[in-house]
Chains A and B, each alone.
Chain A
Amino acid sequence: MSLISFFPDWMLTHGAAFLVVVPLIAGAIAAILPKRQIAAALTVAVSFICMLTSLLLVLQIIDGQTINYALGGWDAPHGIAYVVDGLNAPILFLISAIGFLVSVYGMPTIIAEVEPKKRAPFYAAFLICLAGLLGMVVTGDAFNVFVFLEVSSISTYSLVAMGASRDRRALTAAYNYLIMGSIGATFFVIGLGFLYMETGTLNMADMAVILREMEGGSRVSEIAFGFIIVGLGLKLAMFPLHTWLPGAYAHSPSMVTVFLASTATKAALYLLLRFVFTIFDVSFNYVFDVEIYLLAGLGMVGMILGSLQAIFQTDIRRVLAYSSVAQVGYMLLGVGLGTAAGLTAGYLHLMNHAVIKGALFMALGAFWYRYGITRVTDFNGLSKSMPWTMGAFTLGGLSLIGVPFTAGFTSKFRLVEAAFLKGWWWAVAIIVVSSVLAIIYIGRLLLAAYFQSPPEVNGHVVAKNEAPLLMLIPMWFLVLLSIAIGINADIMVDLAEGAASVLLPISAGATP
């Protein structure tokens, strides 16, 4: 723990609040900055500070401790508490680290994709979105979750719409996302209302205690649970509620796509874990049924149908967007298994997928940046015209499929193992089928890139034109990270097991 000694004392005590307040204030400042360069520098600096702060939080909780931070000095059941434990600290680090990489990556792409006068507000919206996502993960107050959920969602709607200067469909995509997202958030808040009626508290830990005393509570808490699951399901793109996702991913600016794909659905998934396992409990009948039949069931349906839809897309960003729907299915299956092994696998896949999809969408952004490519047929000969970016895309794609020695393999293998332990052999079959479908949709792109020659324009073969270093470095960092996880996943597995032990405190390691 020598790393902790590098941080100042006040950060040790106030780290949890610092993490949210800094990007929120910086967002307001960035909005009024006159120049894009200053706003970009501010964004990079702030996201770097957030990354360090969340690293500190991870270091503080790694021994299984919990940080309780009473906001404004008001104690927990009445005031708003920020709680950092083994479940949310890794996600905080994930969000802020991706935020940092994305803000570096975004410097060249923003110039290409966003109109000059909108660049500083773009960074402002990005910072507020970052603050919202970090806030909804760090908070221990159920209503605070709703507020931060909406802070991040509303800024995301405007971020998606900023893609309009590149692709006009960004506007309709943002509109659809707004409608679906608001319905989701409203369902969530209805659920919270019922939960408040039942328990009379908004503090998550307090709610958990009261609900356990009531042994699940009356029908009111069943209704509350239903509303909350639907609301969060919309936010995390659970299979039939995923319709906003392909549009939002496909038409927003590259930087936003990378950020959304790696963090937004992950934060919502974290909330699902928190509500299903910590606030409610799988020992309640209704929670158990939802977990087994709904989460695992829809997860598996999503794995197959998401992958199938990915195969038939003509737009590469949509291919990866539908693939994300399928990957969320893997995580939901891990949650639905409900065992410590399943939760570890699901949590591991959550982090791995953020790394992999981040790298893949970064590569797609680079292809667009150099050649304006968005169609699958445009992939012809890309390995010759953009070798480094295509190399990153290839390794990321292999990781997505789950080839050994990549991050995707580690988590999928653990998921298969967990499913076998539970005796769900059909789930194993579905994982295999979905992976085969992934080979098809990724392989189709790789075949075109490696075995076709680059297109000719006016009789000349398209010249080699590599992406700028600012885009390549974050991309390759994520790709190498995914390979490193594939070779030695000990740190990640430790974090995931820590998270699983928070979710299943009594029966950690045992199957219920």
Chain B
Amino acid sequence: MLTAFFENYNYYVVIILMMTGLYVVFSSRNLIKKLSGLSVFQTSVFLLYITIGKVEGGQPPIVSENHASNDSSVMVAGGGEAAIGHAGQMSDVLYSNPLPHVLILTAIVVGVATLAIGLALTVRIRETYGTIEEDELAMLDYTYNLEGTDA
């Protein structure tokens, strides 16, 4: 029971973060709080991807000189030969999967962009309406929405 828990420890963290984030997005009526919930939700996905990339006993996927080739002169001399040296030695060392890390770097950038746009919109909403509470925003637009009038 306990081993099962600790073996899948990462996944429990992911699930808890994911659900917390999603709950905050839906439950809070404050625009900033919603955005922080969204951030937590997105962060949980980063953790999920990184968990996928981990290979048990795997080294960080960096080809260092010790691993790649014993003859360092080959490395320095010719790029082509060095590459062959890398490939030949690869099988000895178990590397973690680097691809999910690369993917999640992209997703982190996307998350930052989304958060930036969201915060910028919140600033504009605050300037225009004077509040960032959803209920008050709905009240302020109530007559507009009722009549379908234009500002």
Residues of A in contact with B (beta carbons under 8 Å apart)? 143, 146-147, 150, 154, 157-158, 161, 164, 166-169, 171-172, 174-175, 178-179, 182-183, 185-186, 189-190, 193, 196-197, 202, 313-316, 318, 368, 372, 374-376
Residue B42 at the chain A interface, CB threshold 8 Å: yes
Asked if B118 and A178 sit within 8 Å, CB to CB, the answer is yes
Q: Chain B residues near A167 (CB, 8 Å)?
A: 150-151
Closest chain-A Cβ to B121's Cβ sits at a distance in Å of: 5
Asked if A172 and B125 sit within 8 Å, CB to CB, the answer is yes
Asked if A190 and B114 sit within 8 Å, CB to CB, the answer is no
Q: Chain B residues near A172 (CB, 8 Å)?
A: 125, 137, 141
Closest to A315 in B: B148
Residue B8 at the chain A interface, CB threshold 8 Å: no
Residue B29 at the chain A interface, CB threshold 8 Å: no
Flag the segment in B57-65, B71-79, B81-89, B103-111 that touches A: B103-111
Asked if A183 and B41 sit within 8 Å, CB to CB, the answer is yes
Q: In the bound complex, how far is the Cα of B97 from the Cα of A197, in angstroms?
A: 11
Evaluate whether A189 and B147 lie within 8 angstroms (CB atoms) in the complex, with A154-B117, A172-B141, A175-B125 already known.
Answer: no
Residue B3 at the chain A interface, CB threshold 8 Å: no
Q: How large is the interface on B (under 10, 10 to 19, 20 to 34, 35 or more residues)?
A: 35 or more
Residue B95 at the chain A interface, CB threshold 8 Å: no
Q: Chain A residues near B121 (CB, 8 Å)?
A: 157, 161, 171, 174-175, 178
Asked if A150 and B110 sit within 8 Å, CB to CB, the answer is yes
Asked if A179 and B125 sit within 8 Å, CB to CB, the answer is no
Q: Chain A residues near B45 (CB, 8 Å)?
A: 186, 189-190, 193
Evaluate whether A314 and B147 lie within 8 angstroms (CB atoms) in the complex, with A171-B124, A183-B25 already known.
Answer: yes
Residue B91 at the chain A interface, CB threshold 8 Å: no
Closest chain-A Cβ to B138's Cβ sits at a distance in Å of: 9
Asked if A314 and B141 sit within 8 Å, CB to CB, the answer is no
Asked if A313 and B117 sit within 8 Å, CB to CB, the answer is no
Closest to A314 in B: B148
Closest chain-B Cβ to A49's Cβ sits at a distance in Å of: 27
Q: Chain A residues near B137 (CB, 8 Å)?
A: 172
Asked if A193 and B48 sit within 8 Å, CB to CB, the answer is yes
Q: In the bound complex, how far is the Cα of B53 from the Cα of A332, in angstroms?
A: 36
Residue B129 at the chain A interface, CB threshold 8 Å: yes
Asked if A374 and B148 sit within 8 Å, CB to CB, the answer is yes
Q: Provide a sorted-by-A list of 25 A–B residue pairs whose CB atoms are within 8 angstroms.
A: A143-B103, A143-B106, A146-B107, A150-B110, A150-B113, A150-B114, A161-B121, A168-B141, A171-B121, A171-B125, A171-B128, A172-B125, A172-B137, A172-B141, A175-B121, A175-B122, A175-B125, A183-B25, A183-B41, A185-B110, A186-B41, A193-B48, A202-B99, A202-B103, A372-B150
Q: Chain B residues near A183 (CB, 8 Å)?
A: 22, 25, 38, 41
Evaluate whether A168 and B117 lie within 8 angstroms (CB atoms) in the complex, with A189-B107, A197-B52 already known.
Answer: no
Residue B12 at the chain A interface, CB threshold 8 Å: no
Q: Chain B residues near A374 (CB, 8 Å)?
A: 148-150
Q: Chain B residues near A174 (CB, 8 Å)?
A: 121
Contact residues of B between 24 and 40, Cβ < 8 Å to A: 25, 31, 34-35, 38
Which of B35, B42, B121 has the most chain A CB within a 10 Å cutoff? Answer: B121
Q: In the bound complex, how far is the Cα of B129 from the Cα of A260, in angstroms?
A: 26
Asked if A164 and B114 sit within 8 Å, CB to CB, the answer is no
Query: Contact check: which of A186, A193, A313 meets B148 at CB < 8 Å?
Result: A313
Q: In the bound complex, how far is the Cα of B148 from the Cα of A368, in angstroms?
A: 13
Extra contacts besides A174-B121, A186-B45 (12): CB < 8 Å: A154-B110, A154-B117, A161-B124, A169-B141, A172-B125, A190-B48, A314-B147, A316-B148, A318-B148, A374-B149, A374-B150, A375-B148
Asked if A182 and B52 sit within 8 Å, CB to CB, the answer is no
Asked if B117 and A376 sit within 8 Å, CB to CB, the answer is no
Asked if A179 and B34 sit within 8 Å, CB to CB, the answer is yes
Closest to A143 in B: B103
